Each structure stands twice: as C-alpha cells, then as structure tokens.
Structure 1
Amino acid sequence: TIGLVAATFALALALYLLIEKPFRSSYKSKLSGPEFGLATLSCTAIVMIISASSWAMDGWDWRLPESIRNITKINRTELDKYVWMRHDALNLKEGFDLSSKKEKILIIGDSQAADIVNMLAEGGQTTDSDIVSRSIWSNCSTFYVDDKDQDKFFTKVNIMTIQSPDLIEPCKVKMARAMDTKLLDHADKIYIAFRWNPETIDYNEKAFEKISSMTQARVYVFGRKNLSKSSIEIVADLGRTSGISHFAAQFKDEETKSLNEKLAKTKNITFVDLMRIICPDDSSCAVLSPEDRPLFFDTAHLTKDGAKYFGADIGSLIESSTRNN
C-alpha cells in the first residue's frame, strides 16, 4: 500500500513535469513530425504489450496467493452443465412409478430448483424417493398464471417476457406441464424453487394458492439463497481464506431478505428458508468448503462442492420447516 501511494505521487509529478507543464507553455517542439509519430507509436506499443500480458495471464494472477488462485480458476461451462444435469433428466420423466412404495416428490422451478435437486442428491436424500421434475425457465417467473391474468402478466408485469415476447408460448407450455393433475394427484410432496422476482411475487402467491387447492401433497416453497457476490468474488475481495465466513456476512442481499420474509408469510405452503444454512448466524455466511473450494460459482448457483456442503443439511432443514408449519 505504501509503495502504491509513493508510486502515485511519483507518476503524478512526472505527468505534471513532462506533459502538463510543457503543454501549458507555448514553444516549438524539438521533435519533427515523424519523430513525434514514432514516439506516439512506441508509447502505444508499450501499453498494448502490458495489456496483452495481463489478459493472457488472467490479470496477473501470480500476484495472488496460490490458494486464492486455485479458488478463482473455475470452468463455468462445466458448472452450468452440472447445475442442470439431474433436473433435466428428471424433467424427461412422464410421471411417477405408481407401483413403487417410495415417497413421490414433484420438483418445480428454474435453476434454483435444479440446485435443490443437486443438494438432495449430494446429501443422499434421493435414494428412497421417486422424484419427477418440471423445469420452467427463470424468464417465465412463475409456474402458474390464471387464464384471465395471462395477457397482463406476460405483456405488462413480467419484465422478461415483455422484453422477449417469443418466450410467452413456451412458458405457457411449461406451466401446463408442471400443473398436470396426474402428477399433482399422486405426489406426496411438492418442492417449488425459483429466483423469485419482486414484480411477480404477488402472482406467485396466487399460484401457491392454486396448486394447494389441486393436490393433497404438502407444498414446500424454497426461498432465495443468493448473496450479492459469488464465493470467488468475495475471496478475491478479501485476498485470503482466513476469516472469509465473517467477511462474507456483509454481502447478504437485501432483496433476498425482503422477498423471503414475504414468502414466509404466505398461507397454504411450507416455507423453507435456505438462508438458515447459507448464513447460519448474523455474522457468518458459508462461501467455502472445509477444503477451501467455492460453494457458489455466481451469486445464486452452487458448485458441486456447494451442493455437497449444503446437501448435508437440506434434509434436516426441510424437516424442521415442516414442524414449524
């Protein structure tokens, strides 16, 4: 820090003496036109070489401790595939195995529901269950809208479909598939998870009421679980792993808090507050595994390590939420 402050003043003095002061004084340049052009090109080349070096070397990550560099190196493509893999596979199932004695669970939602599937699987909660998923794009913002409200919802309320009207019909198809009475009639439990949006939360409350009226299954609604920064960004900000849980607590997301508080008050559903295992107390949030692997690869999605870490507690969290409702 002292070195950077000293360099700042040194560079400021150099800029003043070599650029600002000469330009303020009227005099004839000692450089000819070609010489000035060559000097300019040389400066440009130096800047380009430095910039290219930084880009090629991941922002000169050698400046960071090796433990931090290992945390920040992730394969985003592979992580995106991991999030959706199980959810997509279960979405292909036509229905429950009615000959099975296993507990039948219907999971509805976007990538947040995919995270729930992964947590259940990594936590060993799926072996005794017959699970069917119904994948709905996050852009749809809900899993049900009454026919009389659909035009207003898709063209005046839901920002995503207002911006991309071509999503409206596919969203309707996905919603109808999720609300299939054959699935609702045979489900023992229904898990619903989205990255809930403030502008559509009132419509989702109506959707909870509708699905509860169509099934004897207990309906569980999982709240948002995101912080304002990913594990990787939080670690990079702190520059070390020690004390990271305490440091991460300052990145709790206010919108997540307010939406979860509203969902918790909704009738006819069992609310599951995922923030209870993400941030178990006011001054601590989990962003790294015991092996110092990132739990979130962006602000809202879990890595495989994250699914394993939180999957160890997801069963008990669901049970306690059931007792409290």
Structure 2
Amino acid sequence: MSTSTRTPLIAVTMGDGAGVGPEVIVGALLAPETAAFCRPVVIGDAARLRRAAGVLGVRPEVVTVPGVGEAVFEAGRINVIDPGLLPEDLPWGKVSPVAGHASYEYVRLAGELAMSGDVQAICTAPLNKEALHAAGHVYPGHTELLAHLTGTEEVSMMLSTSKVKVIHVTTHIGLIDAVARIEPGLVERTIRRGEAAIRGSGVARPRIGVCGINPHAGENGLFGYGEEEEKIVPAVERLQAEGMDVHGPLPADTAFFLAGRGDYDLIVAMYHDQGHGPVKILGLEAGVNITVGLPVIRTSVDHGTAFDIAGKGLADAGSMIEALRQAAELSSARGV
C-alpha cells in the first residue's frame, strides 16, 4: 500500500557506513508505523543497506533513485539517493576516512534538499567524529556541520525523550571552555530557542527549568566563584520580566528530578554531560536529538555509531523510528 502524499518527505542520512546507521535505518524504514507518518528517502549507499538488511535477516527492495521526485513509497521498499562513495568491502566497526567523507557528503546533500524545499526535514543516523576528522571535515558533530552548511551563526542541541526535553547552552567543548563561554546573552538566546521549539510542538506556555553550573547551583556562593549570579541570573530575570515561565538557576540534580515527574517541559543544561547523562538514563532507547535554530528541521538518533555491535544485527531501531516521527511532527507543526 502506498504512503499518503500528504505525509512529509524526509531525507534520512546514513551516517558512517561502518557503524550501526545502515542497520537502524533498515529496521526503522521497514517498521509498519513509519509509513504512516512520513515518506523517507535515504541519502546513503544502497549496497551497504542491502548488507545491513542481510545481517538483520530481512529482504527489502532497496532501490536507487536519482532524486526525491522519483521515489516510490510502497511497503518493503527503501528509496536511496546513492552518490557511490563507499567500497563494497568496507569493514564494520572500523574508523575509515572514506566512510567519514561519505557521511559528510550525505549530510551536505540532505542539507541542499532541505534548503531547496525538496524535503521537509532531515533525519540523521550517527556519524563518527574520528572518521569525519580523518577525512578532513573538522566539525565537532552534526549540529555544527549543519549550522555551517546552512549558514546559521548559532544553533542549539535539544535532546528529547517522553519524560524530559533538554536544550544545551554549550555542547562539544571541554568543561573549562564551556564555563568560560557561558554568558548571559548566550543563556538567554538558548532559552529563547528552546521555548520557541517547545511552543512549536504544541505547548502554549512552556515551563522551563534552568540548571546552574556548580553543585547546588553554587549554594549562595559556597561553591564556585559566583558563576550563577554572573552568567545565568541576568538572563533568567530578563526573560521572567517578559512573562516567560522560566525558573533558575536550579541544582541540576533537582531540575532533572522535577522534570522527570512532569514539573517542567524543558530543562536548560549548561554543558554537554550535564544534559546528556540524565537523558540517556531516562530514555536512550527512544531519545531524539533535535537541532534548534536551523532554517531546516533536523532530528537524529540519540546514540553513536556503536562500532562494537555494528554488523551484528543487534542495533535497536527505536530511536530512529522516534526521530523520524518527531521530524514529521515538527514538519507538520511548522507547515512545511
């Protein structure tokens, strides 16, 4: 049965071909529920997807198409735009500059399709940063790469699970550098991006909790050197004065406990591990990474290339299914 032409077209990038990306894509695109909410077109390698299908013990029809307009959406069929960048004998679970370059090209092509309006969203399988860098593409990750490709000056990473959503003020930099980079303007802009994203998902007035930097959010100067008062409080007070339902700075452990029981729609984390740790405990199997602030919609699985299990048929497609679902929902909410 054909998928409705009213569902969003989504470019699905294959990520690093040596990782679990091909497997989770095959698993997600063959899941019956996926066809109900989107029309996915893979930007990747057709032969690699067939090999992934083999390790999963399934036999989809993997069809190479020249463009999105030529894709046909039927049960059991996977449409692929294949630039022909991977060797057939690429080993599973090994860092490869060839695979790193291919992962970059998949994202670049998907970005072009999204910017031109040929697809309504991008959904990315994981790339490997070491392989990406070995290929000469020195970006910390998808978030920064897509910002560069779309000419966007500043974006934020949001992690989304059924229990909690977290947006990060800083992401792929060292902790000392993160503390130095945090300042009221960046905190304010991050909260605004997060609030707009949550409103875009259907929450009329999001409740937002903002984490501190130090243990116990500094506990009135007991820990740290006044970072909360200097770097966070001015942003929170400014947004509160505008009527935004924002609270903080809060001790991070308290903030995530409150969010887990439903008190907040969004938590603002100051640095990478402050946000990622709780999210991966609360919902890794269905976690989704959303890049907020881009001119296009981009979601991703919330896991890495998992080289240790790649090619073994063990990867769980749940996060990819959820990433596709949220990409489709964001597309519909935005009206693209």
TM-score of the aligned structures, taking structure 2 as reference length:
0.29
- Which structure is higher in helix share? 1
Task: Name the larger-Rg structure.
Answer: 1
Which structure has more relative contact order (CA 8 Å, sep 6+)? It is 2
- Which structure is higher in strand share? 2
